[in-house]
Structure 1
Amino acid sequence: MNKLFLIMLLVVSRILMPEFAFGTSPVAKKPNIIFILTDDLGYGDLGILYQNQRKAEGKPYHRTPNLDKMAAEGMILTRHYVPAPVCAPSRASLLLGQHQGHAEIRNNQFDKALPANHNLATVLKEAGYATALIGKYGLQGLQGDSPATWEAYPTKRGFDYFFGYVRHRDGHNHYPSHDVANRGPMEFYDGNEEISSQLKGSYTTDLFTARAKKYIQDHKKGHPDQPFFMYLAYDTPHAGLEIPSMPYPSGGGATGGMQFIGEKDNFINTAKGEVNGFIHPDYRKEEWPEVQQRFASMVRRIDNAIGDLIHLLKDLNIDEETLIVFTSDNGPHHESYGYGDYDPVFFESFGNLDGTKRDTWEGGIRVPALVRWPGEIQESVKNDSPSGFHDWLPTFAEISGLPAPANTDGRSLWPILSGEDNEHDGKVYIEYQVNNNTKSYESFLESKRGKKRGEMQVLYLDGYKGIRYNILSHEDDFRIFDTKSDPGEANDLAGTNGEFVKLQKEMKNAVLRWRRYNASAERPYDDLPVPALDLNGIPEMGVQVASYRGDFPWVPFIDTEKDLPSEFHLLAQLDDFVPKEEAKVFVFQGLLKVDQTGAYEIRFHTNGGLVMHVHDALVVDNDHPSLAKESGKSSLFLEKGYHPVKWVVKKPEDKENLKLELKWTGPGFQDKPLSLYQQTPTN
């Protein structure tokens, strides 16, 4: 493609497409958003996804009638994936909008501080939302012992209000004021106040539900015109396998169901009865092991809570103004913490999938995902396009009328939620390491039983899942599956024909291009150079520069193929670029020519915000006020050849002239000005 054709194409495109506009939303009114995250609920634990099938087959089953109804009133994302098959990295990636190739919390790094960067709460707060976290957190930081001293306490990371457990481990006791099994009382916070001594008889599923309902009612009364974002993070049905003290209160909504009282030893209306003693009557007479009766009762309690919350939204006449997401942080667990032997095989909580928590087989990473918004999301719809937790941040940003921050790995799910598209334009990428084995359950394929987990990696490319277990080197092949038609991953397509031989190579190249080295979670493929592009021609010198007007609160994610600029330049060199005063954001794209495989360093100096990617790897994230510096550097190991580079820079708020200097150092040269080549080579 020559320069003249490129410019002509741009002119035609601008006639057909609107200019990118910041501050617009695809919906008429910003919705309230309730994101409900359960702890270790398996894909097969919902009636609509698997338990109803077990009932039809005459097998033991448990029921989720309210969640089944929610699914019928909205969309099921049937291939929705967590970023890692365990709690902390999943929750961190969800909040940050980054997959595990970039997020700072990896593997089993429980209680590590959530970075002071853009996250779901800060983005929606910028959009005018009130923000609340009710439930389990676990990302506060390893240092400190109080809201004042924890580095990343929720109210220091964008949440206006917090009610719940701070530490990861505390969430393993579902009666914070009591000794239960082998867990003693745990600290519990309401804002900055520790209140566990006031919570006699309070079961956390009930407690979180009651507080969520009160928050919604108070907000509706005090701030009826302001949307709210609630991250409602239940600590069940993960173990301990504690159960409620009494039946779920009758009715629901504003006057029934769970109610918040707030009095010492009478905090909620179920803080009475026999602590840890109520088995749901549907399961009480079944000849099941007690641990299975307990688990089924825990899931049913969550189901009751969802019905209660939706009832409240209807009572307050905000049901059609509220988007609800219901999901889980990873696959099903196999712990009881003091109640006897427990495994998720009795109800097949993993559904028709293989794998559990800590596996990257489908059962460990594919989670239930229901999305409901009456009038905006079509009812009784399933979408099987692969998607992941990091997609929610750009989704909610778009709905709220904001661009996503440029450092996100996610892509908005709104096109598929709204019915505009059927295929999600995003990535699924998963990393996780643990030194144990896949469970040897009889329902799992023999080839997976007892298989060493070790270093694991998953990506989706061209619609196929690539997965590696116990990776010892980057030469290890991916097993390749079509999980749409083969959810049990029985038919490995790797090497079966030329198409999959080629895809194997592309997957190995892709995973080196999508991620960055992280010293806290080193991988066997860290020392490999990032593969260069395989080009058909020789590129000419040049850089594409797209300029955007508008008021941007951060360096925005911009897709220059979809978000049409106010101006576009194809320049021979970077020094030729002179920014127009009215433009606020500039996107630079081109190819970096590497003459020798080796270690390279990119240095920057700027007075604005800057986010840079090489391929899809985030190499510079210099945007958020708590992180941004005038100067910095990033190291890369690059293969000889051409590498796509994209950086987005935001002019400083005081409207002074933008200053940007980029230099690089490599084998045989030092502090050389960055020069680029056109992204489309000439033949």
Structure 2
Amino acid sequence: MRKTILTAIIVSICLFSCSTDQKSESVKPNIILVFTDDFGYGDMGAMFQNKRGEENKRNNPWAFTPKLDILAQEGALLPQQYCAAPVCAPSRGSLLTGLSQGHANVRDNQFDKALADNHTLGTVLQAAGYNTAAFGKWGIQGKGKGPDWPAHPNKRGFDYYYGYIRHGDGHEHYPKEGVYRGRKEVYEDYNEVSAGLDKCYTADLWTAAAKQWIIDQKQDKEADKPFFVYLAFDTPHAVLELPTQAYPEGGGLKGGLQWLGEAGHMINTASGEVDSYIHPDYMNATWDDDNNQDTPEVPWPDVYKRYATSTRRIDDAVGDLVQLLKDLDIDENTVIIFASDNGPSKESYLEEGYSPEFFQSYGPFDGIKRDCMEGGIRVPVVAWWPRKIPAGQIINTPSISYDWLPTFAEIAGVPAPVNTNGVSLVPSLTGGGEQKEGLVYVEYFQKGNTPKYADFTEEHQGRRRNQMQMIRFGDLVGLRYDIQSHNDDFQIFNVNNDPQQTTNLALNMGMDLVQQEMKDKVLQSRRPDATAPRPYDNELIPAVKSNNQLPGIKWAFYPGQFPWVPDVSGLSEEKRGIVEKLVFEGIPDEQNGVVCFSGYIKAPADGEYQLKMDAKSNAFLKLHGCNVIDEDYGYSAGEIRSETIRLQAGMHPFQLYYLCKKGSQPKINLRWSGPEISDQQIPSTVFFMD
């Protein structure tokens, strides 16, 4: 495997040394993120399948994930984590950018759309001094081919890439033979390399490639840097092809999957018969198909043997990676996160149909892939970090996949970019510090209906989807399906007591305040996107009630040399003060750092406002939880950026961040126009504070 040379820009970023990071490069933990395709909450043994096995009901078959179960025993389960969207492209886009579906540019079913050119897991960790690599399924590259793809992984923060670029390629698990979906293309960086991939089952191929890359990193003494691996499987999705043979014995350096690097024999399982191997645990498995103990059991249908073998292959791959870390003596300084992109699918590209009912892959919930009910968006998650994450921990803090960007940033010793909608989960994972409450929010559109599965409550069987929305407040989930307007009420469920969402608490006395809070919060936490229209896009963002209407703006200064405008929640302020308007009076001007102005902007009337901002340095404006003006990533000093936003008359909390640079006089200009307001600098008379 060849090494990818960093561009001059990335080199300059990587040389950055953040003042908040007191650790040397050599002790920063490595990070491995394993992301699967359509692996349901109920597919993991420790989450659900083991319970089915313990019940031993012969009409309820079960499968095994022993290596993942060990990972969970040695680390933590996160049974309350959600994916950002119930289908792969937007889910992966939000994961990589740390943005919710209320801010990400890849939404709904926008497969192969170019991921926005902004901060990603890759760019953030590169800046923290990491070597970065992505393996497997991408699917958010944009139009073009080879170097022309605008959002190729090499252009979104990954030094090295090996895998399927296009979304559709991930629907075939033998790229050269193309057994069921035709031949596909595999890229190493910008080079198409499928010609040499005879008999390479993709789950094996991506794992072997990732193992070899990790080995190369640790054997290259000149590149003594931590690494980040994004291992994105395209299995067990849909085509349900089988490996060529049993998983090689052992694991790590000398066992398990091995990268051979020879055309026609690229990995050590590139032999035998394509699409042939069924795991022995399932080869002769039988079940009580008619729920009648007096009749003989029958063999599992072939399609379910295939599915169980596919998930078991991923399980073996995770165990192989763990052994590699041990062999390299880096296991105690490596974080592994295992997760899935969405709930289980009912798709099958084989002649034999498939249903997630067989293993109850949606777990104790209703809904599957493309649903915003719990079964479509609750995903299996394991976090492993020896000596840091207490063994056997169950973390019941509600969280969502875009929380991983700020989490990895904290692990790497840098503050997250301020544009993220997530929060760091390090306090929950390690038991140290106070966990900040995050935003768990999903929006999605898909024509169609929830399947009529007998496991689902009658109300949910055949439910019309269309526009859907979900938000979580503590134990309560607000859910809307087939949304016609913002006036539609949320159904409200306590999902801890009622995982199938059968009892709508919105009908109870006193829930009208929660209902209104949910309706307000979703508008205050998102921005419209013309490519994914919603029936609530033109609603006014609700103002907040503020009894204290003191004139002025608060500011706080956080010293440090930052590579971007940082989220300041984990930083220590050095100085604070109050100003009447957006000026830098009293703020240190001979130090590197970031200043955060905060308070309220009072909109004088309902209507549409255009905000314009230009700054001498990087800056960022937020209203409520909305990212409004981004003058951070790719910003040129003095450039004017603007945004139109619809505001209800009244108070709107804001935070304006400015990156101070030593020796440069700070300057920012914030203007607006709106109902009966001509274009002008926002006057001091509309700024208030608590």
Identify the match of residue 408 of structure 1 among 401, 411, 420.
420
Query: Are positions 1:482 and 2:494 aligned together?
Result: yes
Indicate the percent of aligned positions where both proteins have the same amino acid: 46
Identify the match of residue 601 of structure 1 among 577, 600, 610.
610
Using a 3 Å threshold, how does the CA distance of structure 1 residues 232 and 308 change in structure 2: closer, same or farther?
same
Measured after TM superposition, the shift of residue 538 of structure 1 is 4.8
Using a 3 Å threshold, how does the CA distance of structure 1 residues 627 and 342 change in structure 2: closer, same or farther?
farther
SS in 2 for 1:294: helix
Contact 1:622/1:629 (8 A) holds in 2: no
SS in 2 for 1:574: coil
What letter is aligned with 2:40? G
Q: Could you say which residue in structure 2 is the equivalent of 1:546?
A: 556
What letter is aligned with 1:179? G
Using a 3 Å threshold, how does the CA distance of structure 1 residues 29 and 151 change in structure 2: closer, same or farther?
same
Distance 1:51 1:238 in 2: 19
Using a 3 Å threshold, how does the CA distance of structure 1 residues 596 and 80 change in structure 2: closer, same or farther?
same
Q: Could you say which residue in structure 2 is the equivalent of 1:659?
A: 667
Query: Are positions 1:301 and 2:313 aligned together?
Result: yes
Q: Could you say which residue in structure 1 is the equivalent of 2:595?
A: 586
Query: Are positions 1:679 and 2:678 aligned together?
Result: no
Measured after TM superposition, the shift of residue 46 of structure 1 is 0.6
SS in 1 for 2:568: coil
Query: Are positions 1:557 and 2:556 aligned together?
Result: no
Q: Could you say which residue in structure 1 is the equivalent of 2:66?
A: 65
Q: Could you say which residue in structure 2 is the equivalent of 1:520?
A: 531
SS in 1 for 2:427: helix
Query: Are positions 1:427 and 2:436 aligned together?
Result: no
Measured after TM superposition, the shift of residue 495 of structure 1 is 2.9
Identify the match of residue 515 of structure 2 among 504, 517, 542.
504
Using a 3 Å threshold, how does the CA distance of structure 1 residues 646 and 175 change in structure 2: closer, same or farther?
same
Identify the match of residue 449 of structure 2 among 407, 414, 437.
437
Contact 1:26/1:398 (8 A) holds in 2: no
Q: Could you say which residue in structure 2 is the equivalent of 1:465?
A: 477
Contact 1:116/1:626 (8 A) holds in 2: no
Measured after TM superposition, the shift of residue 597 of structure 1 is 0.5
Q: Could you say which residue in structure 1 is the equivalent of 2:33?
A: 35
Q: Could you say which residue in structure 2 is the equivalent of 1:105?
A: 106
Measured after TM superposition, the shift of residue 25 of structure 1 is 6.1
What letter is aligned with 2:379? V
TM-score for both structures, normalised by structure 1: 0.93
Contact 2:603/2:651 (8 A) holds in 1: yes
Q: Could you say which residue in structure 2 is the equivalent of 1:569?
A: 577
After superposition, the C-alpha distances for 1:27-53 in whole angstroms (9 at most, x for unaligned) are 993100000000000000011111111
Alignment of 1:238-257 (within 5 A): 238-257=237-256
Distance 2:499 2:242 in 1: 32
Q: Could you say which residue in structure 2 is the equivalent of 1:163?
A: 162
Contact 2:425/2:435 (8 A) holds in 1: no
Structure 2 unmatched runs, 5+? 1-17, 286-298
Measured after TM superposition, the shift of residue 57 of structure 1 is 2.0
Q: Could you say which residue in structure 1 is the equivalent of 2:639?
A: 630
Structure 1 unmatched runs, 5+? 1-19
Query: Are positions 1:201 and 2:203 aligned together?
Result: no
What letter is aligned with 1:603? K
TM-score for both structures, normalised by structure 2: 0.92
After superposition, the C-alpha distances for 1:202-259 in whole angstroms (9 at most, x for unaligned) are 1001111111111111111104731000000010000211010111111111101111
SS in 2 for 1:109: coil
Alignment of 1:11-410 (within 5 A): 22-24=20-22, 29-58=27-56, 59-141=60-142, 143-146=143-146, 148-181=147-180, 183-223=181-221, 225-286=224-285, 287-410=299-422
Q: Could you say which residue in structure 1 is the equivalent of 2:619?
A: 610
Number of equivalent positions: 653
Identify the match of residue 417 of structure 1 among 429, 439, 447.
429
Q: Could you say which residue in structure 2 is the equivalent of 1:4?
A: none
Distance 1:672 1:94 in 2: 38
Contact 2:25/2:129 (8 A) holds in 1: no
Distance 1:64 1:378 in 2: 21
Distance 1:317 1:61 in 2: 35
- Once the two structures are overlaid, the 10-residue window that deviates more, 544-553 or 481-490, is 481-490
Distance 2:357 2:72 in 1: 24
Q: Could you say which residue in structure 1 is the equivalent of 2:9?
A: none
Contact 2:19/2:561 (8 A) holds in 1: no
Distance 1:305 1:568 in 2: 51
Q: Could you say which residue in structure 1 is the equivalent of 2:467?
A: 455
Measured after TM superposition, the shift of residue 399 of structure 1 is 1.1
Distance 2:215 2:619 in 1: 41
Measured after TM superposition, the shift of residue 627 of structure 1 is 7.8
Measured after TM superposition, the shift of residue 576 of structure 1 is 6.8
Measured after TM superposition, the shift of residue 604 of structure 1 is 1.1
Contact 2:558/2:568 (8 A) holds in 1: no
Distance 2:580 2:278 in 1: 73
Using a 3 Å threshold, how does the CA distance of structure 1 residues 136 and 322 change in structure 2: closer, same or farther?
same
Contact 1:253/1:312 (8 A) holds in 2: yes
SS in 1 for 2:442: strand
Contact 1:384/1:484 (8 A) holds in 2: no
Contact 1:241/1:339 (8 A) holds in 2: no
After superposition, the C-alpha distances for 1:277-321 in whole angstroms (9 at most, x for unaligned) are 111111111211111010000001111111111111111111101
